[in-house]
């Protein structure tokens, strides 16, 4: 891989290779690292820049931890105290930082396509998409797949209901690309106003009723209402949305063996009842744990096998 811009670009084999590597790093984290507390040196001296133009807790910090566990030098670029505030463009910011020796940029941006744009302007450095607008969030889906694999023992041919604000969700787009390559039965459930135009062209089944959507699935994947991306009113009220599409403990009997997942951050009481967030079938914190391992796998795959030469 030269870059990781989205899962649409990866083959099934490439996705499975990243999962295998991520699972290996998860085992290393749970055993060897836990007892020795000694980082690896595979990326010793390599320079990684975290360039986040949007807020993040999970993605930003897990990339930072992942890079350091591999021995890399990781710098976090803070937009609020950078020359972006003096009008410096995205392109000039990238080229400036690349000139300082950064070899890989982990980028989160509000514009769909920002990572592709970055990859086409950087001379040598690699790009990892940490979420670009409404386009893709590839490492989120990879960590979700690792979480499913570690619980169910397989990642092919299962049944998932993705519920919520699919229209604005880059997580849903990456999930649809990956799960369809793995022959999943993909159900999307949302009010019609929160489904993208031409969604019927994707290999998915549409549901407008939560109970019908989740019946008998292996995974219930809840999404946050992305109010920061909504430029108009998509439903009458949060209360009505929550009543029709919010997951509660009463739904559990419809899919008794389902893993309950959410990319985070969760708005408790909106898309999910607080008790469901904390219940034993909820894998939300396990997803976060696997985030470090999968991001180690991605950084290692992009930087681990190639030396940077001037």
Binding interface with ligand CP (CB under 6 A): 56-60, 131, 140, 263-265
Q: Would you say 40 or 51 has its CB closer to ligand CP? A: 51
CB of 253 to ligand CP, least distance (A): 28
Q: Would you mind telling me the total number of residues written for the chain in this entry?
A: 310
Nearest CB to ligand CP, comparing residues 58 and 252: 58
From the list 228, 275, 286, 236, the residue with the least C-alpha distance to 252 is 275
DSSP secondary structure of 263-310? -S---BTTTB-HHHHTSTTB-HHHHHHHHHHHHHHHHHHHHTT-----
In the complex, the smallest distance separating the C-beta of residue 57 from ligand CP, rounded to whole angstroms, is 4
Residue 113 or 203: which CB sits closer to ligand CP?
Answer: 113
Q: How far is the CB of 283 from ligand CP (least distance, A)?
A: 13
**Alpha-carbon distance 177 to 8, whole Å?**
5
- Residue 33 CB, shortest distance to ligand CP, in Å, is 22
State the minimum distance, in angstroms, from the CB of residue 56 to ligand CP: 3
Could you count the other beta carbons within 10 Å of the beta carbon of residue 309?
5
Task: Give the residue carrying structure tokens 């360039």.
Answer: 51
| CA–CA gap between residue 282 and residue 275 (Å, rounded) | 10
Q: Please report how close the Cβ of residue 224 comes to ligand CP at its closest, in angstroms.
A: 9
- Which are the contacts of 168, defined by CB distance < 8 A and separation ≥ 6? 134, 194, 226, 229, 230
Rounded Cα distance, 199 and 194, in Å: 11
* Residue placing its CB nearer to ligand CP in the complex, 140 or 290: 140
Q: How is residue 99 written in tokens?
A: 């000139």
* DSSP character at residue 80: G
* Choice between 6 and 131, CB closer to ligand CP: 131
Please identify, using beta-carbon distances, which residue of 57 and 183 lies nearer to ligand CP. Answer: 57
């Amino acid at each position: 891989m030269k870059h990781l811009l989205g899962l649409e670009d990866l083959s099934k084999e490439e996705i499975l290779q990243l999962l295998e590597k991520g699972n290996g790093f998860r085992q290393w984290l749970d055993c060897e690292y836990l007892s020795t507390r000694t980082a690896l040196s595979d990326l010793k001296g390599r320079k990684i820049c975290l360039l986040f133009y949007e807020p993040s807790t999970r993605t930003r910090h897990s990339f930072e931890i992942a890079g350091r566990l591999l021995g890399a030098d990781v710098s976090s670029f803070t937009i609020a105290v950078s020359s972006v505030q003096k009008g410096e463009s995205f392109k000039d910011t990238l080229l400036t930082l690349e000139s300082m020796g950064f070899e890989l940029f982990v980028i989160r941006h509000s514009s769909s396509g920002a990572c592709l744009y970055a990859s086409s302007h950087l001379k040598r450095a690699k790009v990892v998409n940490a979420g670009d607008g409404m386009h893709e969030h590839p490492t989120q889906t990879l960590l979700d797949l690792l979480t499913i694999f570690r619980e169910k023992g397989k990642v092919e041919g299962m049944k998932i209901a993705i519920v919520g604000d699919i229209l604005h969700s880059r997580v849903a787009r990456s999930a649809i690309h990956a799960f369809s390559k793995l022959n999943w039965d993909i159900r999307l459930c949302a009010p019609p106003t929160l489904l993208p135009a031409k969604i019927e062209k994707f290999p998915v089944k549409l549901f407008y009723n939560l109970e019908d959507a989740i019946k008998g699935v292996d995974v219930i994947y809840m999404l946050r209402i992305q109010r920061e991306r909504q430029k108009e009113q998509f439903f009458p009220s949060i209360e009505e949305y929550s009543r029709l599409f919010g997951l509660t403990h009463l739904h559990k009997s419809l899919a008794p063996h389902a893993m309950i997942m959410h990319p985070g951050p969760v708005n408790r009481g909106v898309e999910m009842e607080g008790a469901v967030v904390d219940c034993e079938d909820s894998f939300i914190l396990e997803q976060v744990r696997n985030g470090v391992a999968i991001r180690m796998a991605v950084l290692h795959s992009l930087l681990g096998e190639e030396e940077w030469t001037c």
